[in-house]
Structure 1
């Protein structure tokens, strides 16, 4: 709704505010209970801005800082622009309140004119302006001026960076802050969520989604009376309703026109329901110079300075000033900011634009190109738009590609992709231009975090008519990596093999990249020797190439293979990769390599090295604006905490991680899913453990990523007494044991080889178990993999003859010491328990000490089933478990520790038989404990097992 006069209610401006009382109450109520997020959606002219204006007035009366920014249809690649507009008001106010946190220094790139009010940026200066860093700065400013509400209007026109920034802010608002967004669903890019990725309210955050409806005839009558007084007859109201369909924008424009002319009947205006003729009347009342200035503003389509508007109208400086004053007085143009003028809403600008004769529009577009090129920083996106609208298609193609390059270099991949898609839609393009634009578009889309959207976009690119074979091969190769890296989809390797024939028709560097990826990642990539040979061939193809990107990719995959086998040459190759380079793709390749090195180090049990790589990968990912790599590094932090024994709260942290990122296989399975499965099994939640592990195993297939869930699933089934099921978990499908043997992945210390040895022994296949352990011991020789050393000791303990228990215990003790040195208490406790069990008959004191130590670790971790197993063994030795010393005899109506364990199992739907198996109790004892829990809590099994609603904040 246009604004201009104080309403009778006193809060806000414009004509009387009608028909929105319920929406206003809801909006203000939610924003008064921060943290909160309110989203207002509706068509153009429905009154979103007026609703926001009224709410802002009420909030300001409450002492709330309302910070406002808006998006524009012709955006330049200036990430975070709307937020920067809001900060220009907030930063000075925050600075007056006291010293700003150092994290706000990251905002200096957004509001350079306020840099003197901001502290020096903290950390790496190259991280300034990147999304997570900027988000932290925005949160700090909101907290400094709290209570505060950040308003961003017309989010359908936002650039990708702004969407991502607002998503980060919305997911973690300060306690006294709110976020208010408006948008038009019909103008969002197809398939693009409002914030660039699916968003749901975090726990503890209030929220509302409001969709204003069209006004009723009664609402319109109230508006008409406020403007026309007695002239608002029933006939006038009905005519206005017929013309407007209840759209507030058209209603108010009609009313303002009726009030400012001698016309008293809407039909006498000679206008249709369109806004075009209403604006036309205002234009007719303007002096010619002012009308020409308005026409130039309509062609520019974004807020512009007085000087630029004068240049568009062809007016000298003084005449331009007078013309602008006239356009403002005639309510055609509005002041939108310091030296920024434009239309109050996009429909008004469109109406003026459509009122211009075709030749005039064309001439003005050409003039816009000339004027914009004269600026200190030419806005290439706008120049491309005006070049196309002037009819210069050939010139537009070059301008669009240049604008896309600029946008990509600034990290605005969304703008780059939009421009390149428009280029590819142009008929009759030369093959070289098709190839260039398609490659650039594929590159711009492949780093998105929304997996489904990314794959769909790249498949559309592949379907571009006239795409050269070599280009098609490159794009298909990139698609395959997106499918595998982001989606865990093994079909990505089928796409890669389909790409090879096309790549053979192009430069050898592109073929080398495909061969390197197949050798390094494909499930059937052959033995380590065959893998290395293929990689060395790829390295030879790029040895003398000037293609830095291809050399980088091949080297990264060569490094990947070295890291996979913990080859001692790997650290030197990794250290030689560029961390800073003018070629952004080379740096991004380095970021992925360092991130991969984290996982390879964890695979080998080298947690100290992994921590160093993780710190660097996280910093590089933020600095280079790689949201996908930020997601990976966040997942590694969670995993490393779990490996270090920080199990308390792990499930909540994983759920929070899944809430923050778009669902994908990394989030639902992988190593995090494996950790959840192992933890569930340790607590006795067998069904839940199997579900986690089978999900992770099914989605990854026969790859190194499947080694951990296969081993853990085998362990869970073996613990349940199902040796055949355990063997099936290892041999498939997928056949992970065969994969490890074929690929010689001996350094992957996720318990697969020890599990296989133990299962083979349980199946009576000792000779095969000894052969496997021998292969493993030989395979880790000379490799930097501390976890594999621990597993080799574990295998020796398992294979020790029954008549030499001390030999077995010594081997298990070595494994325990090795795991403790690495910093992983859980596998150390398992090894210590094995040592205690081995000494049970020959050294009861030694057995007791080891079992008590392991039971204490299990208790601290919350591994109740493992703790119960240790306590049972201690009782079998005639020992009072250390954990039971000093316990009170009675608990009254409170749950005893054992009953608390039973309660935890009942919540997950365990039967008495499940409880008995998990806690090593007799079925009768399990039944007794379950009955006691249900009696004390006055509940039933069914009620306990029902999903619980989250607590109301």
Structure 2
């Protein structure tokens, strides 16, 4: 009987019902030790069994918290026969964890995708409940995998129920039920079940403060004392009660309990091996079993409650604990368990122990358990007396912690490593980690300058990479001095870099030299991959080469999906979304950003989420959604404010607030982000605002600068826009005609429509109303397709002024894709290209059943009923 848990039981029962009905969900039960989490999980197991759900279980074990994927092995061992049916990369990752395959250095989140796919396959045979007890003691690699899977549950028939203490298990995105202490009425009912004399019940209830375990144990301690209250154990209350029980056992039994507690995993063969070395044996566990402090089932020893193990271990003197760990190290059956106990048994510095810890770290690294590997390296640094090794291992720990998504911890470790290093060369590899942390935490200027400072002491090859990264960080925050310094230093060390050199020219407004250099880098990136392609994507954005950026970013995203390189995707998807917006694929961009946000949250890049969402500020500006645009733009983290200024300038222009558009542009032009492509591309907005205010002279300088940039860059869209601006300042038709011919060679539909609108307005003003209708009609249709409501209304008004009757468009019917959610859109596109549900699931990190669900929901919105009909639809981007 569970008392005081009706709310939690209702939530768990709902979770089970959802899974039984073919949908999915996850829930965390959270509370202090002894609050009844395990009891609720036991009740949930009974409920699920009655409902026909299959049970999978894992219990976090404190002694295994440093053993990579120990929890995952426990959970998946009974179903490993289903692994062969998974996609090859996912199957390989799980085989490496379960010991039947080679470790391959996969992306750490590929494991989470593999778990999701495996559970979904199992759910095809019937609904599943995964029970995860003591989740706060799971190893980090298992935690990452389970949470990745849990957050992507949708329509599989899977329920995951976690139970954890208040600290030690962060699970953002998973609903939680806090378990409170029992009130006096429920506490009295619970105590009454344990036969305690009435005279003692109130005292037990008061001392236990509503903790169910305390109620039970205090009642048991007082049973048999019917006359008057007896002082209850104090100190740590329940822990003290367990210590008192243990203290009454024979010495040999207490030693066996210390061995079992120190071993941690309940592995009887290892426990008995250590026991033999210490002169005790299995018979010495009998009295602990009789006292119901632990039980032995087959080859497993299990404490009735984790606090009993804590009481047994903490109650032993240091010398005994050291002897026990040494015996366990000698008896261990695997190297990771051996080094865990050996480290616990070593009281001072020991180079052999440090070397074994490094080996354990490398094993964890190759299995993608980067957080575990960071912990092993950090321990190794504590055991070595060689300062250079200590600094190097702390530096490696920092890098691994950052890869694991723990930016704050990575920064602390890197700082410790720098303080210990003897000489600048010894710390050359640390600044990239510290700088990456600073950048992710929203400090790009500090990151750039840190790298420049440290590059002066690094090997030329390392320095060149650091300076390139520094220039990239500096570009984002408008730190022109750092970009110039990076370029000069690259030249000084004989490692000139195209990207750094090009950016240095751009911040000095030397477009004729800078843009061709950057264009060369983009061209090289078309035949490159990895880091070189990523640089080409970034450079393509700098020079406004939409076609190259879209092509390269799309190819790199596909490569990362195929290889399961999940952690690399947030930045690539952000780049892709920017390119999609520029070519008018707004709905695709929203889907891309939504996916990137979900992955960023999973990979620990929480500061990137705001930056990702802010990518869509320009879409909001085009659509005239003032509230959304201002919210996204204000939250932009770029120090120079270039991105926010660009969106807000366009918003003001579209809303007809020309003075605000000019003020915003002139503020941005004086700021540190003046050299950025975003501000450069806003110059035409400045020109148009000034002309509409009747103050064209205010924009002449902006136009000359933009014309020089457009001419040097040779991008058709930019040259077209420059001609449009020149036409606005004059009274000649020829620039408009030339601009439209150039627009036909590019793919920026919003800019083309703006040129058509202005051209149509000019034609109407010179009384060529019939000629004006074609460009105005084309502009209106494009604006409507882009949901640019204020711009569409302006074109519509001009068309009416030519004498044409114009019906008000219904935007919901303008494009089939507008009817889909972002994830439905992604699924539909891949399905239309011929992808199977399993292939789509692997690409989007979903389960196949969730893919089928999205297709099922999308078909009616598209007016179709099958994949065959889907292939016939025109799903080209808006």
TM-score range, shorter chain: 0.7 to 0.9
Q: What is the aligned partner in structure 2 of residue 836 from structure 1?
A: 760
- Measured after TM superposition, the shift of residue 53 of structure 1 is 0.8
Q: What is the aligned partner in structure 2 of residue 916 from structure 1?
A: none
- Measured after TM superposition, the shift of residue 714 of structure 1 is 3.1
For residues 614-763 of structure 1, the aligned pairs below 5 Å read: 614-617=554-557, 619-620=559-560, 623=563, 627=567, 629-648=568-587, 658=597, 661-662=600-601, 666-669=608-611, 672-676=613-617, 678-686=618-626, 688-690=628-630, 692-693=632-633, 695-696=635-636, 699-702=637-640, 709-719=644-654, 725-733=660-668, 735=670, 739-740=674-675, 751-755=681-685, 758=688, 762-763=695-696
Say whether the 8 Å CA contact 1:458–1:475 is kept in structure 2: no
Cα distance in structure 1, aligned partners of 2:291 and 2:431: 56
Bigger mean CA offset, 62-71 vs 356-365: 356-365
Structure-2-length-normalised TM-score:
0.75
Is 1:209 paired with 2:182? no
Cα distance in structure 2, aligned partners of 1:461 and 1:66: 45
* SS at 1:303 equivalent: coil
Cα distance in structure 2, aligned partners of 1:331 and 1:645: 69
- Measured after TM superposition, the shift of residue 879 of structure 1 is 1.5
- Return closer, same or farther for 1:565/1:322 CA change in 2, 3 Å cut-off: farther
Cα distance in structure 2, aligned partners of 1:479 and 1:163: 25
Bigger mean CA offset, 37-46 vs 842-851: 842-851
Match of 2:306 among 346, 349, 355: 346
For residues 340-379 of structure 1, the aligned pairs below 5 Å read: 340-372=300-332, 375=333, 377-379=334-336
Cα distance in structure 2, aligned partners of 1:534 and 1:874: 57
- Return closer, same or farther for 1:238/1:630 CA change in 2, 3 Å cut-off: same
- Return closer, same or farther for 1:77/1:445 CA change in 2, 3 Å cut-off: same
Q: What is the aligned partner in structure 1 of residue 367 from structure 2?
A: 410
- Measured after TM superposition, the shift of residue 414 of structure 1 is 2.5
Cα distance in structure 2, aligned partners of 1:666 and 1:316: 54
Q: What is the aligned partner in structure 1 of residue 265 from structure 2?
A: 302
For residues 310-459 of structure 1, the aligned pairs below 5 Å read: 310-314=272-276, 331-335=292-296, 339-372=299-332, 375=333, 377-379=334-336, 383-395=339-351, 396-420=353-377, 430-447=386-403, 449=405, 453=408, 457=412
Q: What is the aligned partner in structure 2 of residue 152 from structure 1?
A: 132
Cα distance in structure 1, aligned partners of 2:270 and 2:813: 78
User: 1:741-781 CA distances to partner (integer Å, 9 max, x unpaired)?
Assistant: xxxx77x7973354455567653268646642552244225
- Measured after TM superposition, the shift of residue 871 of structure 1 is 0.7
- Return closer, same or farther for 1:274/1:729 CA change in 2, 3 Å cut-off: closer
Q: What is the aligned partner in structure 1 of residue 160 from structure 2?
A: 179
Cα distance in structure 1, aligned partners of 2:516 and 2:54: 53
Query: What are the ranges of 5 or more consecutive residues in structure 2 without an aligned counterpart?
Result: 505-513, 815-878
* SS at 1:66 equivalent: strand
Cα distance in structure 1, aligned partners of 2:706 and 2:239: 81
For residues 773-792 of structure 1, the aligned pairs below 5 Å read: 773-781=706-714, 788-792=715-719
- Return closer, same or farther for 1:422/1:87 CA change in 2, 3 Å cut-off: closer
Bigger mean CA offset, 353-362 vs 176-185: 353-362
Bigger mean CA offset, 857-866 vs 633-642: 633-642
Is 1:815 paired with 2:735? no
- Return closer, same or farther for 1:879/1:100 CA change in 2, 3 Å cut-off: farther
Say whether the 8 Å CA contact 2:522–2:540 is kept in structure 1: no
Which structure's relative contact order is higher, taking Cα pairs within 8 Å and 6+ residues apart?
A: 2
Query: What are the ranges of 5 or more consecutive residues in structure 1 without an aligned counterpart?
Result: 1-15, 202-206, 542-553, 580-589, 782-787, 888-894, 898-953
Is 1:478 paired with 2:433? yes
- Return closer, same or farther for 1:235/1:74 CA change in 2, 3 Å cut-off: same
Say whether the 8 Å CA contact 1:417–1:444 is kept in structure 2: yes
User: 1:264-302 CA distances to partner (integer Å, 9 max, x unpaired)?
Assistant: 8999999775556756756876795x7654432222122
- Return closer, same or farther for 1:64/1:105 CA change in 2, 3 Å cut-off: farther
Structure-1-length-normalised TM-score:
0.70
- Measured after TM superposition, the shift of residue 539 of structure 1 is 5.4
Match of 1:490 among 418, 427, 445: 445
User: 1:829-870 CA distances to partner (integer Å, 9 max, x unpaired)?
Assistant: 223333433433375444212221221122222211111111
- Return closer, same or farther for 1:825/1:334 CA change in 2, 3 Å cut-off: farther
- Return closer, same or farther for 1:772/1:105 CA change in 2, 3 Å cut-off: closer
* SS at 2:58 equivalent: strand
- Return closer, same or farther for 1:768/1:160 CA change in 2, 3 Å cut-off: same
Residues matched between the structures, number: 785
- Return closer, same or farther for 1:450/1:370 CA change in 2, 3 Å cut-off: closer
Say whether the 8 Å CA contact 2:723–2:738 is kept in structure 1: yes
C-alpha RMSD of the superposition: 4.8
- Return closer, same or farther for 1:486/1:504 CA change in 2, 3 Å cut-off: same
- Measured after TM superposition, the shift of residue 873 of structure 1 is 0.9
- Measured after TM superposition, the shift of residue 183 of structure 1 is 1.3
Q: What is the aligned partner in structure 2 of residue 64 from structure 1?
A: 53
Cα distance in structure 2, aligned partners of 1:252 and 1:77: 32
Is 1:23 paired with 2:30? no
